[in-house]
Structure 1
Amino acid sequence: MVDRLQDMRLFRLVVQTGSLSTAGRQMGLSPAAMSGRLKAMEEFYGLRLLKRNTRCLSPTPEGQLLFENALKILEEVDALDSIIKSGHSDLLGTIGLTCPTDLGRQRISQLVDAFIGENPNVSIRLFFTDRLLDFVESGSDIAIRFGDLPDSSLIARPLGFDRQMVCCSPAYLARFGTPRTPENLLEHNCLVQLRADFALDRWRFFEKGAATTVQVKGNRLANDGFTLRQWAVQGLGVIWKSAWEVAEDIQSNRLVAVLEDYQCPTTEFHLLTEGGKKLPRRVKLFVDFAVDYFKHLDTPARHLLTPPVHGRPMPVCLS
């Protein structure tokens, strides 16, 4: 077992450095010894684990799978060693977390701060993306996502509801007037969010159970929600944004909600983990911490986040 762990450490270092000789120097082994260990590993698995090019070594698909899982195994082993040597059972290790960019900046970064405040020996690797990444490929333990779940093998813990709001600045309203119906938005400069391969320019509304969709236009489009909010605060247009993201702007009167007689789409957001996999203790505790955090979160958005009133939540599609 010890030899297998040492082989994992060796292989991890070879992949990270791209060089047998460099990895060997760091481990105190000769190039011949490194080559022998690597050959023995490939014979054990019956597969090639590394491929050569003119500059460096890189893993084969099977080698990449070994590398990714070796990282997690060695991290657990190192954490256990630290616990035993230090004589305490504090949480240790790293948690990989992905979440939507805007929610991450507005709320998840605060969640991370709160968790690390109680568990200072845990590191969290926070990655903002509006795509649901493969857990192994991205090195993630947890993903937070809006809307329907594309993969039934994932385990979802609901964190709450979110709904879209149409907002603009008081200065914009003073200059261009207030839209009274969704169709009025066609006469306004709308600030549009971009995804990887499409624009969120079809804004949907409900009134008395009837749905209306308006395809809006504007002279500013961006794939960054923070930039859209800043443009709206500056009086440059109308935005369609999450209540989580604009609640503080509305409370401070930097933005004003419009079309409040119409219901915008409401969606659930979930914390996702891989199914059929034993989670490290630190990940389990983070999951429970996050659920409790959002349950008791005191925020200006709280009164805006009501469950859906038109049946099941409408999904917000992410690329």
Structure 2
Amino acid sequence: MRLFRLVVQTGSLSTAGRQLGLSPAAMSGRLKAMEEFYGAPLLKRSTRGLSTTPEGQYLFENSQGILDEVESLDRAIKGGHADLRGTIGITCPIDLGRQYVSQLVDAFVAENPGVTFRIIFSDQVLNFVDRGLDVAIRWGNLPDSSMVARPLGDDRPVACCSPAYLDKHGAPRTPDELRSHNCLIQLRADFPLDRWRFMQDGFATSVQVRGNRMTNDGYILRQWAISGLGLIWKGAWEVGADIVASRLVPVLEDHHLPATRFHLLTDGSKRLTVRVKSFVDFAVQYFKQMEEPARHLVASRSAHLLDSVL
């Protein structure tokens, strides 16, 4: 592949041969062997010189990535992953990204300084493969079977607000009472997520809420709630640190849905590069080993905070 790429780049068998220290006969023999292996002509000759066939052009365009991975694999085997190089593309929800994924990336780069990250924080569900990204972190169920999913942890939506909001407006006792509260609503693809789901009498139910603020930015939504502007319904990982720090207080705890998994996704239709596989394994261990604020949401501390403001 290296030989073929050099021939295409120089436009000459003899020029490429001189750079590689090979005779014209040796170059012709290797090119012929490649064409026999692939079962198709790769180059065509004319009075203007050499040009690629459609098969040759496809090989040229895709071979550099393969050669890069071979070199990365060599470095990883010979010297560990400290020599990983290249770019990793990630997308994840905004609030999760700011609170956790940015620190995850910092930790990985500290061990692999040759890796560059391209990160898109978005609360929209992006087609990360079409966007040229390698990894997506998503909440909830995963309907696309072409994706490979690695679980990162358990999560569940939590209704919460600031102590100041509870002082002024009181707490809803049932999901239906949310209708009389100012609920801050997340937008997804310009569609308001204004049906909040809970457990009631052993069954999952939903209630349509209303409020005076909507945004597609989960971070801003959380800041509004911390400022006492209303109630929010967000994942436990996203609000767990605020609850532990008493910035937010969970409500309707007896009605929360059971926990569901959130995952790291990769494209199952292609083989992972060495650097992406290394990052995926690193991310799984990072989330597994870190102290999860969401685990403490139903601890006595939260219950005490709620009682104290009612």
Q: TM-score, normalised by structure 1?
A: 0.71
Which residue number in structure 1 is paired with residue 142 of structure 2? Answer: 149
| 1:194 and 2:205 correspond | no
Identity of aligned residues (%): 57
Which of 255, 272, 276 is the aligned partner of 1:262?
255
Q: Aligned-pair RMSD on alpha carbons?
A: 3.1
Which residue number in structure 2 is paired with residue 277 of structure 1? Answer: 270
Change (3 A) 1:150 1:6: farther
Change (3 A) 1:9 1:220: farther
Change (3 A) 1:252 1:303: closer
Cα distance between partner residues in 1 of 2:98 and 2:9:
35
Which residue number in structure 1 is paired with residue 2 of structure 2? Answer: 2
Unaligned runs of 5+ in 1: 11-35, 50-62, 307-319
The structure with the larger Rg is 2
| Structure 1 position 96, deviation (Å) | 1.6
Which residue number in structure 1 is paired with residue 202 of structure 2? Answer: 209
Matched AA of 1:213: S
Conserved in 2, the CA contact under 8 Å of 1:106 and 1:244?
no
> 1:109-124 maps to which residues of 2 (within 5 A)?
109-124=102-117
Which residue number in structure 1 is paired with residue 127 of structure 2? Answer: 133
Cα distance between partner residues in 1 of 2:155 and 2:237:
7
Conserved in 1, the CA contact under 8 Å of 2:225 and 2:248?
yes
Change (3 A) 1:245 1:9: farther
Which residue number in structure 1 is paired with residue 178 of structure 2? Answer: 185
| Structure 1 position 4, deviation (Å) | 4.4
Q: Deviations over 1:237-295 (max 9, x none)?
A: 11111111111111111111111121236321111122242222222221111111111
| Structure 1 position 207, deviation (Å) | 3.0
SS at match of 1:301: helix
SS at match of 1:264: coil
Conserved in 1, the CA contact under 8 Å of 2:128 and 2:136?
no
| 1:40 and 2:51 correspond | yes
Which of 207, 212, 223 is the aligned partner of 1:219?
212
Matched AA of 1:5: R
| Structure 1 position 5, deviation (Å) | 3.1
Which residue number in structure 2 is paired with residue 232 of structure 1? Answer: 225
Unaligned runs of 5+ in 2: 11-47, 300-310
| 1:243 and 2:236 correspond | yes
| Structure 1 position 204, deviation (Å) | 0.9
Conserved in 2, the CA contact under 8 Å of 1:162 and 1:266?
yes
Which residue number in structure 1 is paired with residue 294 of structure 2? Answer: 301
SS at match of 1:295: helix
Conserved in 1, the CA contact under 8 Å of 2:158 and 2:233?
yes
Cα distance between partner residues in 2 of 1:299 and 1:180:
27
> 1:9-20 maps to which residues of 2 (within 5 A)?
none
Conserved in 2, the CA contact under 8 Å of 1:190 and 1:237?
yes
Count of equivalent residues: 258
Q: Deviations over 1:54-89 (max 9, x none)?
A: xxxxxxxxx9x986x5774475477579x59xx845
Matched AA of 2:133: S
Which of 63, 71, 88 is the aligned partner of 1:95?
88
| Structure 1 position 182, deviation (Å) | 0.7
Q: TM-score, normalised by structure 2?
A: 0.73
Which of 107, 123, 127 is the aligned partner of 2:100?
107
Matched AA of 1:2: R
Conserved in 1, the CA contact under 8 Å of 2:92 and 2:136?
yes
